[in-house]
């Protein structure tokens, strides 16, 4: 018992004051990209070629954040002249088309559905479905339950059964082997329900796009309400998206 108290004193209170107090991430973190459309076209083309995810559309000077895995290759390739990643972690969107961006995203709060706020604003229970992928998204979603993020202080919880849930939070590119289980879990959630696609895998197939063994776009089998880009999304990106969309 004494050891518990001693450790408790040493550890102190670590819960973040976010969103009241802003969080600063280390300058190497790659969040929302800043795009310079006036960059010369050869550099833009080189970036598009270097992009492993084919996420850059050279003609419209846009990046698809649903495909992007935030590897930073375009920034290195253009030495920051075409793309520069900022430390802005606020990247959740309600419409998939908005993910194809020239560097700005619509304010999420204005795009959330009013009845969702009314229904789930004070209490939101989510069933997480891990539908293949690499487990990084799952790990960084789990982290929301650690003392620093402490998700439950916002009335949001991840629950064990779809029957207890208001919606599903899906990660991974939906392997063919997880197709049936994903649909079954979704159907087991009582209506009205929400669907969240988290991470570039669930949005576009992520690193595995083009593989015969995945479906690669959650929206093609279940209509998605909220998209959270990243590979994996930083926990604070997920937290921001959940708070803005539902609160």
Partner 1 sequence: MANLLQINNGETVQRSLIPHLAFADFRSELLTFANNGGQVVQFFGYEDDGVLKFLAVLRNEALFVVGCDEPESYQSLTTETEKFHMFEREIAEQYGVKPEGHPWLRMVRYHENYRGKEDVFGNDYKKEDIPGNYEYFPVEGDVIHEVAVGPVHAGIIEPGHFRFQCIGETVLHLEIQLGYQHRGIEKLLPSVPSVRRPIVIEGIAGDTAIGHSLCFSQAVESLASIKVDEGAKTIRVIALELERIANHVGDLGALSGDVAFNPPAAFFGRLRGEFLNLLLTLCGNRFGKSLVRPGGVTQVMGEEQKKIIRDKIRETRPELEHVCDLLFSEPTVRARFETTGTVPYEQAEKLGLVGYAGRASGLAYDARVAFPTECYADLTANTNEKAVGDVFCRANVRREEIMHSLDLIEKLVQKDGETANDPTFDYKLAPSSFVVSVNEGWRGEISHCILTDQDGAITRYKVKDPSFHNWTGLAMSLRNEGISDFPLCNKSFNLSYCGFDL
Binding span for partner 1 by CB under 8 A among 32-40, 63-71, 103-111, 117-125: 63-71
Indicate the residue among 35 and 48 with the shorter CB distance to partner 1. 48
Contact 110, 219 (CB under 8 A): no
178 binds partner 1 (CB under 8 A): yes
3 binds partner 1 (CB under 8 A): yes
CB of 68 to partner 1, least distance (A): 11
Indicate the residue among 22 and 210 with the shorter CB distance to partner 1. 210
Question: Strand 167-171 and strand 124-130: pairing?
Answer: parallel
Binding span for partner 1 by CB under 8 A among 68-76, 96-104, 112-120, 189-197: 68-76
218 binds partner 1 (CB under 8 A): no
CB of 152 to partner 1, least distance (A): 13
Closest among 134, 129, 133, 95 to 111, alpha carbons compared? 95
Residues touching partner 1, count (CB under 8 A): 69
**Mask for 117-136, x = binds partner 1 (CB under 8 A):** -----------xxxxxxxxx
Question: Residue 101 and residue 181: Cα distance in Å, rounded?
Answer: 33
Contact 63, 56 (CB under 8 A): yes
70 binds partner 1 (CB under 8 A): yes
14 binds partner 1 (CB under 8 A): yes
Going edge to edge, which strands form the sheet with 56-57? Answer: 56-57, 62-64, 100-101
CB of 89 to partner 1, least distance (A): 12
**Mask for 130-169, x = binds partner 1 (CB under 8 A):** xxxxxxxxxxxxxx-xxxx---------x-xxx-------
Instruction: Write out the residues near partner 1 by the rule CB under 8 A.
Output: 3-4, 6-8, 10-11, 14, 25-26, 28-30, 50-53, 69-73, 76, 85, 128-143, 145-148, 158, 160-162, 172-173, 175-178, 180-181, 185, 201, 206-208, 210-214, 231-232, 234
């Amino acid at each position: 018992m004494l050891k518990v108290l001693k450790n408790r004193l040493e550890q102190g209170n670590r819960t973040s004051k976010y969103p009241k107090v802003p969080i600063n991430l280390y300058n190497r973190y790659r969040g929302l990209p800043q795009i310079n459309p006036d960059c010369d076209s050869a550099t833009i083309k080189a970036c598009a070629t270097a992009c492993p995810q084919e996420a850059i559309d050279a003609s419209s000077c846009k990046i698809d954040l649903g495909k992007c895995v935030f590897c930073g290759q375009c920034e290195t390739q253009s030495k920051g002249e075409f793309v520069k990643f900022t430390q802005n972690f606020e990247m959740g969107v309600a419409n998939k088309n908005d993910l194809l961006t020239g560097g700005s995203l619509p304010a999420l709060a204005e795009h959330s559905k009013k009845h969702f706020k009314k229904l789930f604003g004070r209490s939101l229970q989510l069933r997480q479905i891990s539908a293949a992928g690499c487990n990084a998204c799952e790990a960084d979603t789990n982290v929301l339950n650690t003392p620093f993020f402490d998700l439950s202080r916002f009335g949001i919880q991840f629950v064990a059964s779809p029957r207890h849930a208001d919606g599903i939070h899906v990660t991974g590119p939906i392997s063919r082997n997880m197709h049936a289980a994903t649909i079954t879990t979704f159907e087991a959630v009582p209506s009205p329900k929400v669907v969240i696609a988290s991470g570039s895998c669930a949005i576009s197939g992520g690193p595995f796009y083009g593989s015969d063994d995945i479906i690669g776009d959650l929206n093609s089998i279940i209509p998605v309400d909220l998209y959270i880009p990243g590979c994996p999304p930083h926990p604070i990106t997920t937290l921001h998206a959940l708070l803005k969309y539902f609160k």
